[in-house]
């Protein structure tokens, strides 16, 4: 905390003498820590924070306020928030005993008021936040946010916590048919698009496999992967008696998504990486 200095002056018969300088230090009795439950975040996910305010002194503190900037940062002239408070999620404890819910104002961050910490006690505040469209998602990206505790009788104290975006591929698959109406003994094409919204490529080591059982069964099939004709058993297997189709583990890779931030609004846009598989055959 603050170091202070003090010196006395003696005067007599118009003569002045100064004393030595004494040095003291004011040690704060309040400390604050901030901890995320889990050290990563993901698009559309949640991050829960635990705030601990410890009073090591012999005097209670009442009427404290806690503010959280929710990771606010600047994009041009705009302040954006990668996290938002989840309504009605705050919990408040003193030495592990639940207390009445304090007042929460969730505008441009969070402000929680009406917090008390008895002498020698620990106040714990827990709340949930949701990841917004302003959260960066590229590999290694972080959200850094701070809480500050203020109130009469204490200088502001601050704690900071950092969470890192989850790494890895995030895959989904869609399937289309063409034509949707087909005559017997005509050919039909199934198109599978594998999308990756994650910040890492799905590599051969991820063992991506597409399986399907065609009904009606296809014969004389042709298979392409990203526009290139592939063959079995190197890339896929197919049983014309059962209609069971499967790609070989590792044959399909999917590039990572790309992320672009609007420099006016601050919102991030995700463009998935994709791989396209087609299977054509005769009904």
Model confidence pLDDT, tens digit, residues 180-225: 998 888 999 999 999 999 999 999 999 999 999 999 999 999 999 9
| Structural domain includes residue 11 | no
Domain identity same for 32 and 64: yes
Q: Is the pLDDT of residue 145 over 80?
A: yes
pLDDT tens string 75-93: 999 999 999 999 999 999 9
pTM: 0.82
Query: Based on the structure, what is the number of domains in the chain?
Result: 2
| Structural domain includes residue 268 | yes
Mean pLDDT (whole number) for 140-155: 94
Domain identity same for 240 and 262: yes
- 104: tokens are 């929460």
Q: Vertex 149, ends 25 and 121: CA angle to 5°?
A: 75
pLDDT tens string 21-59: 877 655 558 999 999 999 999 999 999 999 999 999 999
Domain identity same for 192 and 82: no
pLDDT tens string 149-160: 999 888 899 999
Domain housing 135: 28-165
Domain identity same for 160 and 177: no
Cα–Cα distance for residue pair 48/147, rounded to 1 Å: 14
Domain identity same for 43 and 155: yes
Domain identity same for 159 and 34: yes
Cα–Cα distance for residue pair 137/268, rounded to 1 Å: 8
Write down which residue in 104, 132, 165 finishes a domain.
Answer: 165
């Amino acid at each position: 905390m603050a170091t202070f200095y003090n010196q006395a002056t003696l005067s007599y018969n118009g003569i002045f003498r100064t004393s030595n300088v004494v040095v003291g230090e004011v040690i704060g009795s309040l400390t604050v820590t901030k901890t995320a439950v889990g050290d990563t975040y993901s698009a559309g996910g949640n991050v829960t924070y635990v705030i601990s305010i410890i009073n090591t002194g012999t005097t209670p503190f009442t009427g404290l306020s806690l503010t959280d900037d929710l990771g606010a940062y600047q994009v041009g002239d705009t302040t954006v928030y990668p996290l938002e408070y989840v309504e009605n999620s705050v919990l408040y404890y003193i030495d592990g005993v639940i207390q009445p819910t304090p007042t929460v104002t969730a505008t441009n961050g969070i402000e929680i008021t009406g917090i008390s910490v008895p002498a020698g006690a620990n106040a714990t505040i827990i709340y949930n936040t949701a990841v917004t469209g302003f959260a960066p998602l590229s590999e290694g990206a972080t959200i850094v946010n701070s809480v500050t505790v203020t109130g009469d009788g204490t200088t502001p104290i601050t704690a900071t916590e950092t969470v890192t975006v989850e790494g890895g591929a995030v895959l989904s698959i869609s399937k289309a048919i063409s034509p949707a109406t087909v005559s017997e003994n005509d050919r039909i094409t199934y198109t599978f698009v594998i999308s990756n919204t994650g910040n890492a490529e799905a590599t051969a080591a991820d063992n991506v496999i597409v399986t399907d059982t065609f009904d009606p069964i296809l014969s004389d099939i042709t298979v392409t992967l990203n526009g290139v004709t592939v063959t079995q058993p190197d890339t896929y297997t197919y049983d014309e008696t059962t209609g069971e189709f499967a790609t070989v583990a590792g044959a399909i890779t999917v590039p990572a998504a790309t992320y672009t931030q609007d420099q006016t609004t601050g919102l991030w846009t995700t463009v998935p990486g994709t791989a396209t598989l087609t299977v054509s055959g005769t009904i």
